[in-house]
Structure 1
Amino acid sequence: MISAEQNELMTRVGRDTPGGKLLRRYWQPVALTDELEGPRPVRPVRLLGQDFVLFRDEAGKLGFLDRDCPHRGADLAFGRLEDGGLRCPFHGWLFSVEGKCLDMPAEPAGSKLCSRIRQASYPVVEKSGIVFAYIGEGEPPAFPDFDCFVAPATHTFAFKGLLECNWLQALEVGIDPAHASYLHRFFEDEDTAESYGKQFRGASADSDMPITKVLREYGRPEIRVEPTDYGMRLTALRRLSEERTHVRVTNLWFPQAFVIPMSAEMTISQWHVPVDDTSCYWYAIFTSFTEPVDKAQMREQRLELYELPDYTSRRNKRNNYGYDVGEQASQTYTGMGHDINVHDQWAIESQGPIQDRTREHLGTSDKGIIAYRRLLVDAIERNLAGEAVPMAICAEDAGKFHGPASIDGIGSASEADEYWQREDRRRREQSSWAAPGQAA
């Protein structure tokens, strides 16, 4: 049973909260690279309850600054990109990507004030179509050599979506293998040849059996949870017969991402990034082991649901997520359409802005969630004590992290672990970029 105090500890993300202090130890996704295209590459960003401005200067360098001008607090997200920086429209104060004040045109000639002013700036880097920022103290950690960062740009695609709830309940869906048999159940299977870019719509590896059929007909998985150096591995086994078992391997990448299979050829690495205590973005990197990603098709598919500029879902609590009673009776378990992102959004937003975990009753199938909460609380306490925390790694250690293996396939019932390891190795050997034998 989770106490109210423990729930607060895990969910609150402000600058002075224990949970917020931990999350500030890590790189956080803050924008898609696509969002900085066009004539004015400036974006307001709200992250962990703080307000920032992200911009690309005239030389193409990225800057991530506090959003309020240090003069009189005007909003720098409306600033002008000119003269080598971002200029506040209020009085013309100009700031470089490093936060250095470059100009104060309204001040008297010879004034030394400009040299004494510096806007808070933060490290920022682009990785696989996502802009990451670090707003913590000290040196940021290194990025692990995981597949989503090692794969060439041709084989990755990035996207995001807004969720109106706390980040933790959004993350916990991804470490709950049991829910897919119900929340994402379809009563009819589509042609798997039309499944590109759609999760749970293809066939499991080593078979022509649609994943939708596996989930629909085998709803009582055996779930195994193993600690790893990057977080934990979850293996869900659905026994199809005496000889064959469906094996799905997913991963929790501490502190707030998971790596899951999208299809036999593609994985998803997905972060859950707090905007504040009661809203968050999911950011995902789709990584292909075979052919280059059709970025245009995948973006078009997702823009059918998500509306720019804030990547808000067109199906949401204000229109009951598109719920249709007729559809629920004959097509989908939820009656909320065929996009599983809508199903997840309903499930986690319906728990409330911050789920009251004092009222929940967890079962055996929730063992991944239980294990993660223990890991999270332990890391929060370690961080407060000034001790090392998981995945706050140095550059020398980054190359020790590979994969992680994320598989959805059908293998021998007596060799589940051997099967997913063998399948991961085979996929890497056939890939043009993935190093064989390097799955964590």
Structure 2
Amino acid sequence: MDQELIKYFLMGVVTLTFIFEKTVSFLNVSRKTGRVPETLEQYLEEGKLQQSKRYQRANYNFGLLSGSFTFVITLLFIGFGFFGWLDEWLRQFGPSPLALSVIYFGVLFIGSDLLSLPFDYYHTFKIEADYGFNTSTVRTFFGDKVKGYLLSILVGGGLLLVLLWLILEIGPDFWWIFWIISALFIVLVNQFYSGLILPLFNKLTPLEKGDLKRTIFAYAQSVGFSLENVFVMDGSKRSTKANAFFSGFGKRKKVVLFDTLLEQHPPDELVAVLAHEIGHYKKGHITFGVITGILQTGIILYILSLFVFNEQISFALNGNQLSIHLNIIGFTMLFSPISLVLGMVTNYFSRKHEFEADAFAKTTYAGKPLAEALKTLSVNNLADINPHPLFVMVNYSHPPLLSRLKRLE
């Protein structure tokens, strides 16, 4: 394909992807709220329902503004050849091909993050604060940024360095070697995330001894789930929103409850939430997620190997010669529609697994306390109780509240 055609094709793909995503979001935010469902009448009053809709619209407007900014910048960079210009400017300093690519991505990463910083700050300290969610301080906000930079340099930069080296040294067969490396990395992250990475940002403390801990351990034993400890995370240092999650395998598996979850729910609901998380493990959802993540990575890497040495992509981005980093940027744009589809498939299975984990909790513990917990969580988090079906298909990894309640009740 001619380089000029590729250039306009890239712009077309970026444009259509943006229009599709924003159209789906518009359909959702424009959907009528309706009356408070009977099952939520004791939890959700009309004023709270309208506040929830205002919160959804505030996030939509923010996403439209920030997304439009990114979209316009991307189009300008493609149209006026900034990607190629940056490549040529860096080459004058004479770095090796590997160093050039690493520096190139480093410059783009820093520039992109600096541009997004005001948006992140506004969302945290304006939108989230206005609706009573934000508890983060400016110091915590920028501290997270610095830690994120360091982690990105050490982990992300390290993986990028290996990927680029393999591409330059091995050629098109790089993909299956890096796939193996990526698979090992995915497994290690799942094993050690809550033990090594999470403590960099949050404090984990064992759940205090008492009736709740005894009840949790008794339930875990009743379903044959070996549990060494349950940890409480200080989620309240950033937000009032509550959550719980599960990570790891074998002896390293951990159940983590937000401290806000403990504050907002009675013991029977907390055990029900824990039963749901254990259900994910017992049903093999954690393993399924790891395997599908590895398979998706393999697909992406293989397709990348078909494009990464195509010099026409470099020329389309205003490069004067074949540049691996320019081709990777072009590939991410071309791959975005496929990524959107893969995301919808992943979300479908994730929603299916949530239903299965709910059913496990209902069968092995009780459905009512889990339903009550979901109601409290959704109301306190101002969740959208009536999202558009297409928005759910594209964006929701969890089923809408009313769908889950219908099965539980």
TM range (shorter): under 0.3
Instruction: Calculate the TM-score normalised by the size of structure 2.
Output: 0.26
The answer to which structure has the higher strand fraction is 1
Higher relative contact order (CA 8 A, sep 6+): 2
TM-score by length of 1: 0.25
User: Relative to total residues, which structure has the larger helix share, 1 or 2?
Assistant: 2
